[in-house]
């Protein structure tokens, strides 16, 4: 949720305030646009306050209408504050770009210019609480103004009250947990060794956290290259082009008793695009670090600069190599349920059981049930048939996806002669058998995405262009890469 709010904030600036033809804007223009945009909201808010005071003093205003007028005034005031906040951010960004015009592109970003990159997790906390304030205010209006009246009319409004209360409590709990983590780790920084990094080189440096802690389950590092785009309905979508991750032990050597330093080293492919200099749409390289701790968990996210360079630095040793967890430790951390056993006739069998990603499947099931409840309400309210058909079609697709998460089981047998894959749902399925000579390669694609967690699909590709799925929704890149190496080795004839 936090990252989504952050993206909405950055994209909102481009939606509300646009420069024309890239020409420098008049310094007074943003302020004038903000005033013009805020004027209707200010008039509506003022009108609501006048009605509230006038009718309230005369005693002719009931509680429902009073809450409605107060909510309207609060919403208008919040939107005005948001518009002027975006204006200030836009002005500061334009000034920064003007100062660095004609220089290296990474200097166009103030957070990149110093060589130390602050975590971006801290930015949207204020907006998160603004959203929660609006949500809670709207919930109070519904609970006090709508629910009692519906209850008197015999409608089951108590269900609405319970749902709103549960959602509000969950949202507030999430915000408190996020705020506590932000207060504890908001000054985390990533200091790069080579600035900026370059495709074909390496991203190296240290994450510096002004807190001393030793996570029992270690540190999880993940680097992603993502293409961020905004659709026609202003929805921000990130498509992962490449991703790598590492697990480091928690007992890293430290030089300070009041700080924690986490080494970082990722080899970068040469065929990937460089970063875009501005926030918003474009290519972004994202470094994430997390660790499970008693109380608020550690999480930091850095938008790092990766730009083409004519001279790549000489390759150096990976400083994280000696601290990386073994594959067995990683599989224990991710609670992998993939089963591997040797076959009597030679080769190996890999079993990917159904429902192995219970957290992912449970979340998808809850969303599907909520969507089904919405359809039930539409039927109860006699909604128009086109809406029912559209919502039902979406619900059916979601249901198929949820059933696939819970019920799909795949079994892959590999030996030097052939590869056999059996897909089954509750015992019913299909089988494909390929001779080793037909197989071109095993490929790993990024499948489902939940926030910034990505699941991988393992496929086999043949020389004649066919493609067969071996396993879906693998939740660890190191384990997936290891499975590819193991299967490829099992297909080689014994020496």
Express as a percent the part of the chain with pLDDT over 70: 72
Number of neighbouring beta carbons within 10 Å of residue 75: 17
Torsion angle in degrees (nearest 10) through CA of 160, 161, 164, 170? -130
Per-residue model confidence (pLDDT) at position 221: 92
Per-residue model confidence (pLDDT) at position 265: 92
Q: pLDDT per residue over 136-175, tens digit each?
A: 777 676 666 655 665 566 565 556 566 666 777 777 777 7
Torsion angle in degrees (nearest 10) through CA of 214, 115, 6, 11? -160
- For 316-322, the CB contacts below 8 A with 24+ separation are 316/202, 316/204, 318/265, 319/204, 319/263, 319/265, 320/221, 320/246, 320/248, 320/263, 320/264, 320/265, 321/265
How does residue 6 score in pLDDT terms, banded at 50, 70 and 90?
A: very low
Per-residue model confidence (pLDDT) at position 223: 92
Average pLDDT over residues 182-200: 83
Torsion angle in degrees (nearest 10) through CA of 143, 147, 148, 150? 170
Task: Please name the residue that has the structure tokens 């609501």.
Answer: 48
Mean pLDDT (the chain) is 77
Closest CA to 350 of 491, 452, 217: 491
Per-residue model confidence (pLDDT) at position 9: 35
Query: What's the pTM value of the predicted model, to 2 decimals?
Result: 0.62
Q: pLDDT per residue over 434-480, tens digit each?
A: 998 999 888 888 777 765 567 888 999 999 888 999 988 888 888 88
Average pLDDT over residues 391-413: 90
Whether the bond between 196 and the residue before it is cis, its omega within 30 degrees of 0, is yes
Per-residue model confidence (pLDDT) at position 243: 86
Average pLDDT over residues 328-338: 83
Closest CA to 442 of 422, 407, 468, 479: 468
């Amino acid at each position: 949720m936090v990252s989504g709010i952050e993206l909405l904030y950055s994209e909102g600036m481009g939606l509300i305030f646009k420069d024309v033809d890239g020409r420098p804007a008049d310094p007074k223009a943003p302020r004038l646009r903000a005033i013009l945009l805020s004027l209707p909201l200010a008039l509506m808010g003022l009108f609501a306050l006048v009605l509230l005071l006038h009718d309230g003093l005369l005693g002719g205003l009931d509680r429902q209408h009073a809450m409605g007028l107060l909510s309207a005034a609060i919403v208008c005031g919040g939107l005005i504050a948001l518009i002027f906040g975006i204006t200030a951010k836009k002005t500061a960004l334009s000034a920064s770009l003007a100062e660095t015009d004609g220089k290296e592109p990474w200097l166009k970003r103030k957070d990149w210019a110093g060589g130390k990159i602050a975590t971006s997790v801290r930015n949207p906390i204020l907006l998160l609480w603004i959203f929660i304030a609006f949500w809670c205010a709207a919930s109070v209006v519904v609970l006090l103004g709508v629910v009692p009246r519906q209850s008197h009319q015999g409608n089951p409004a108590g269900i609405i009250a319970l749902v709103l209360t549960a959602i509000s409590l969950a949202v507030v709990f999430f915000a408190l947990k996020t705020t506590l983590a932000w207060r504890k780790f908001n000054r985390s920084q990533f200091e790069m060794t080579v600035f900026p990094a370059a495709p074909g080189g390496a991203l190296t440096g240290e994450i510096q956290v002004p807190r001393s802690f030793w996570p029992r389950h270690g540190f999880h590092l993940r680097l992603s290259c993502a293409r961020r785009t905004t659709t026609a309905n202003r929805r921000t979508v990130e498509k992962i082009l490449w991703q790598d991750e590492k697990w480091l032990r928690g007992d890293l050597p430290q030089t300070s008793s009041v700080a924690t330093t986490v080494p970082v080293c990722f080899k970068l492919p040469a065929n990937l695009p460089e970063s875009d200099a501005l926030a918003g749409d474009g290519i972004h390289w994202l470094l994430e670090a997390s660790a499970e701790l008693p109380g608020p968990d550690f999480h930091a996210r850095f938008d790092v600069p990766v730009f083409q360079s004519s001279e790549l630095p000489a390759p150096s040793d990976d400083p994280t190599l000696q601290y990386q967890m073994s594959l067995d430790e990683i599989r224990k951390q991710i609670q992998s349920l993939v089963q591997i056993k040797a076959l009597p006739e030679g080769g190996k069998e890999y079993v990917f059981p159904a429902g192995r990603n219970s957290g992912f499947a449970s979340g998808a099931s809850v969303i599907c049930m909520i969507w089904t409840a919405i359809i039930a309400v539409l039927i109860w309210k006699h909604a128009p048939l086109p809406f029912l058909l559209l919502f039902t079609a979406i619900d059916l697709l979601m249901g198929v996806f949820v059933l696939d998460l819970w019920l799909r089981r795949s079994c892959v047998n590999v030996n030097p002669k052939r590869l056999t894959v059996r897909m089954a749902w509750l015992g019913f399925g299909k089988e494909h058998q390929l001779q080793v000579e037909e197989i071109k390669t095993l490929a790993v694609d990024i499948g489902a995405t939940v926030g910034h967690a990505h699941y991988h699909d393992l496929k086999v590709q043949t020389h004649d262009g066919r493609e067969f799925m071996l396993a879906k929704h693998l939740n660890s890149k190191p384990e997936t890469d290891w499975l590819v190496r193991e299967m490829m080795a099992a297909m080689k004839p014994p020496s």
